[in-house]
């Protein structure tokens, strides 16, 4: 089967659980399609975050492909040519459109796949182990608790001795923001998303906010701490996974 997806990174990673459950196949990435895609589900193109506009790009395709072909249920990764068997973008007509909850559950609901508590405990990503430090950190400029988040991060940074025990993965803007707001920390540069997954797979703990990196940690089944925004109950958060090794603030 051919599975089409228009983005973004995290949305695609969460959709892979449904892909695996449907038996896998080929992933077809729709390039430069996100604005057109969201418009089909009642969103205005200008509502797309500036960081996501125009995506997936050719560069996105290049850095995504190694991770995707690493999964044994994915046969190939191609540029979408207008044909597909399953439209993974359809989750946008379910999540935030009557259903407020987990991404993975929304994906399964969209495609009429059986879903229960055990599904939230499953993993669906495979990666190698690239160990740098016990803790991997990522904090983006989106989905952060602006009232108390910085304070909690600084306390975790101090209590966990993150200057020595952790490494940061992320882009230049995210890294500069973190060291200015929270404290100095070493950074690991990765060539693509598979290398990011390998790095996260090699840690004991991932700490971050809602991001591509967090979706990788969840797909790999890692122990996580997630910073959330407090605009709705935690149970309705699209990134809430009720696992014993996942915690939230």
**Residue 20 to residue 203: CA distance in whole angstroms:** 25
Confidence of residue 16 (pLDDT cuts 50, 70, 90): very high
- pLDDT at 50 (0 to 100): 85
Which residue ranges form the domains of the chain, and what is each CATH number? 2-120 (no CATH), 135-248 (3.40.50.2000)
Model's pTM, two decimal places?
Answer: 0.96
Confidence of residue 170 (pLDDT cuts 50, 70, 90): very high
Record the tokens describing residue 156, joined without a space: 């975790």
Helix residue ranges, H only, the chain: 9-21, 34-39, 58-70, 103-110, 117-120, 149-159, 162-165, 172-181, 193-201, 212-220
Instruction: Determine the longest span between alpha carbons in the chain, in angstroms.
Output: 52
- Residue 76 has φ and ψ, to the nearest 5°, of -160, 165
- pLDDT at 68 (0 to 100): 98
Mean pLDDT, rounded, for 140-146: 91
Mean pLDDT, rounded, for 9-29: 98
Record the tokens describing residue 213, joined without a space: 């990196």
């Amino acid at each position: 089967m051919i599975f089409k997806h228009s983005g973004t990174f995290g949305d695609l990673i969460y959709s892979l659980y449904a892909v695996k459950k449907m038996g896998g196949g080929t992933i077809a990435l729709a390039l430069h399609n996100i604005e057109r895609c969201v418009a089909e589900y009642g969103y205005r193109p200008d509502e797309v975050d500036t960081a996501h506009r125009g995506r997936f790009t050719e560069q996105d395709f290049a850095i995504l492909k190694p991770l995707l072909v690493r999964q044994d249920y994915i046969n190939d990764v191609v540029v979408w040519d207008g044909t597909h068997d399953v439209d993974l973008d359809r989750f946008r007509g379910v999540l935030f459109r009557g259903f407020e909850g987990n991404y993975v559950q929304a994906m399964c609901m969209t495609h009429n796949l059986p879903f229960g508590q055990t599904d939230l405990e499953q993993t669906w990503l495979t990666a190698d182990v690239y160990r740098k430090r016990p803790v991997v950190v990522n904090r983006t400029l989106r989905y952060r608790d602006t009232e108390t988040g910085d304070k909690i991060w600084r306390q975790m940074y101090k209590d966990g001795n993150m200057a020595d025990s952790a490494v940061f993965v992320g882009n230049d803007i995210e890294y500069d923001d973190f060291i200015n707001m929270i404290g100095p920390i070493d950074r690991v540069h990765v060539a693509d998303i598979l290398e990011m997954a390998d790095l996260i797979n090699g840690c004991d703990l991932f700490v971050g906010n809602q991001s591509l990196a967090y979706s990788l940690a969840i797909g790999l089944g890692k122990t996580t701490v997630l910073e959330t925004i407090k605009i709705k109950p935690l149970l309705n958060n699209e990134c809430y996974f009720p696992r014993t090794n996942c915690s939230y603030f």
